[in-house]
Amino acid sequence: MSMSVRPEPRPGVMKIDAYVPGKSKAAGGSKVYKLSSNETPLGPSPKAIEAVRNADHFELYPDGSATKLREAIAAKYGLDPNRIVCGAGSDELLSYITTAYVGLGDEGIYSEHGFLVYRIAILAAGGTPVVAPEKNYRTDVDAILERVTDKTKIVFLANPNNPTGTYIPFDEVKRLHAGLPSHVVLVLDAAYAEYVRRNDYESGLELVATAENVVMTRTFSKIYGLASLRIGWMVAPAHIVDAVNRIRGPFNMNGPAMAAGIAAVQDEAHVAKAAEHNAQWLDWLTNEIEALGLKVTPSVANFLMINFPEETGKTAKDADEFLSSRGLILRRIDAYGLPHALRLTVGSEEANRLVVEALRDFMNGARNA
């Protein structure tokens, strides 16, 4: 054996482009507004903060099955706690589910501008990512169904989707499920479900309860404002829960995070306030930004995709630099195949007004601050 031989990762690993989180530093501005990671401007419930402060006995291992947190989630959503698994963020659960069902040579499908964690999870498991084109930045159910082969093991649907902010009505989700072979796992990622205000939207809890191949993932990182604590959960049929629990780290959830999660899920008033703030400012931002000659993709989540049409002669890249010079951090989404757009998270009233003001100056040809 030659001296130069060194360990090689499994095929697929080196095809992964590591996930690049939203920036948290700006080029200028005395105050920085981070609007790049879909975090809530309201922060978490004060009761969740209190629960973390009161946490103690850090020398003891936490409850490895997250019993109390699962019970609190189940009580809120009317679910069976035995059908719930908690994770260090829903990202961890997405990767467990993929590891459980996808192996070398298997295929996993997600949509063209879908959340990039799906691609990473599929490649990491040794599988082949299959991308279904979208129509008008919306998931196209037929395009997904056309790409199903006998190698397909998993289909991911973010509804609403990040970074586009679009959604498909529940009828379409049911049509997707009905068209899939029964051995394919359908993952409904409902990270932004609490924000959606549309009569034809449902996160799909009913489908999870009645089908043998549907999993839903949810998160405390978005409307609950607990991204830093890493709390997610999934609800699934018993046999999928069993498979995921076999590969789950035995103590994947930490004690303070679980305490915070319980307090947060019980504070319905805080969630309602966050949803209300979002509805108001999502509309306002959409109207104000469109009035500047930019195109906003209609969003039902807590962020919006701002398109810079070619005829304006303005680019997303230049806009990003201009906004950054004023302390406003948005998200470039080139990695999602959207180099002509920026993603803006709905922020505080102050931040929202500053973004519109800065975009107006940018469109009027102002130079970087």
Among 39, 112, 134, 189, binds ligand PLP (CB under 6 A): 189
d(CA 111, CA 304): 18
List 129, 232, 261, 347, residue binding ligand PLP (CB under 6 A): 232
If one counts every other C-beta atom within 10 angstroms of the C-beta of residue 24, the result is: 10
CA atoms within 13 A on the CB side of 227: 13
Among 122, 191, 316, 329, binds ligand PLP (CB under 6 A): 191
Q: Does position 170 bind ligand PLP by CB under 6 A?
A: no
How far CA 293 is from CA of 285, 286, 310, 315, 356, in Å, comes to 13, 11, 11, 13, 12
Kindly give, in sequence order, each residue whose CB lies less than 8 Å from that of residue 288, ignoring residues fewer than 6 positions away.
356
DSSP element (H, E) containing 318: helix 316-325
- Does 106 contact ligand PLP by CB under 6 A? no
Here the tokens at position 37 are 């990671």
User: Is 96 one of the binding residues for ligand PLP (CB under 6 A)?
Assistant: no
Closest CB to ligand PLP among 90 and 352? 90
Q: Which is nearer to ligand PLP, 89 or 225 (CB)?
A: 89
CB of 161 to ligand PLP, least distance (A): 7
Would you say 118 or 362 has its CB closer to ligand PLP? 118
- Binding span for ligand PLP by CB under 6 A among 135-143, 173-181, 221-229, 251-259: 221-229
DSSP state letters, 83-98: GEEEESSHHHHHHHHH
One residue of 52, 227, 243, 292 binding ligand PLP per CB under 6 A: 227
* Footprint of ligand PLP (CB under 6 A): 38, 89-91, 115, 158, 162, 189, 191, 219, 221-222, 227, 232
